[in-house]
Amino acid sequence: MQKPIVYVVSDSVGETAELVVKASLSQFNNGNFRIQRIPYVDDEGTILETIELAKSNQSMMAYTLVKPEYREFIRKKTEEAGITAVDIMGPMIDAMKKHLSREPKLEPGLVHKLDEDYFKRIEAVEFAVKYDDGRDPRGILLADIVLIGVSRTSKTPLSQFLAHKKFKVANVPIVPEVEPPEELFRINPSKCIALKINPEKLNHIRKERLKALGLNSTANYANMERIKQELNYFNNIVEKLGCRTIDVSSKAVEETANLVQNLMKNQSTEGL
């Protein structure tokens, strides 16, 4: 015997309605049902065809239609046909309209525009993790922004902060003993941001870091001569790259992130 069908009618992809139907069916042994989506409905003819199918299969319907005229049409026609039909979104929209004293946009698919925004953010966060601390130089060529700096200039937290703004960020540590990846010299300098810091501030940060790790704060990592050597090497690399710089000596990550975004925005505007 063929499984009974629940027809899911939507003016978008129908994912929301299907999730609600699945959640409800789980209370009734959902193995006894099949869900059939009817997506992107924007005419009465498709609604009538689906009603005929539901009637011939003795099925029920669920729908998420934002336009009131289509909701009323399907309500009226399913009643006439004796079909059980559930308006999943309509009552919520109507209640919100009353409570907020505002008119809804009544545009299909808006939730998926939000989803797209969400997935872009997740993709950017995953990118920042994958190409953190120069672990894979190939990311330099794929990034929207490339951050460079010596150790403890907040490259990683800054990358994550910018990732939540949907920028794909790679960051590269600059160390005298290690040649910068050749990919760094192949990108447009406008994509690269160098994070400068004064030696005294860096010395303090590194000493505190060593203490937090239970290590001797007089280690070479926090030695002032070593720090000056690193910063001189860093400045030479920045000059070769011709990239823009931001002094992070007295800036919070959020403040630096805003400056980076402004630099990128201005660069985009200049390119128009």
3-state secondary structure of 81: helix
Residue-level pLDDT at 235: 98
149: annotated binding-site residue?
Answer: yes
* 42 confidence band (pLDDT: 50, 70, 90): confident
152: annotated binding-site residue?
Answer: yes
Q: CA-to-CA distance for 184 and 171, rounded, in angstroms? A: 10
26: annotated binding-site residue?
Answer: no
150: annotated binding-site residue?
Answer: yes
3-state secondary structure of 9: strand
154: annotated binding-site residue?
Answer: yes
Residue-level pLDDT at 115: 66
Element (H, E) at 76: helix 68-81
Q: Cα angle at 135 between 154 and 124, to 5 degrees?
A: 65
pLDDT at position 174 over 70: yes
151: annotated binding-site residue?
Answer: yes
Q: What is the pLDDT of residues 199-238, one digit of tens each?
A: 999 999 999 999 988 898 889 999 999 999 999 999 999 9
Candidates 121, 134, 171, 165; CA nearest to 259 is 165
Residue ranges of alpha helices (H) inside 84-137 are 90-100, 110-130
pLDDT at position 268 over 60: no
Rounded mean pLDDT of the chain? 90
102: annotated binding-site residue?
Answer: no
DSSP state of 61: E
The tokens for 241 are 């790259």
Domains of the chain: 5-108 (3.40.50), 115-270 (3.40.50)
Decide: 189 and 241 in contact? Cβ < 8 Å.
yes
Decide: 150 and 202 in contact? Cβ < 8 Å.
yes
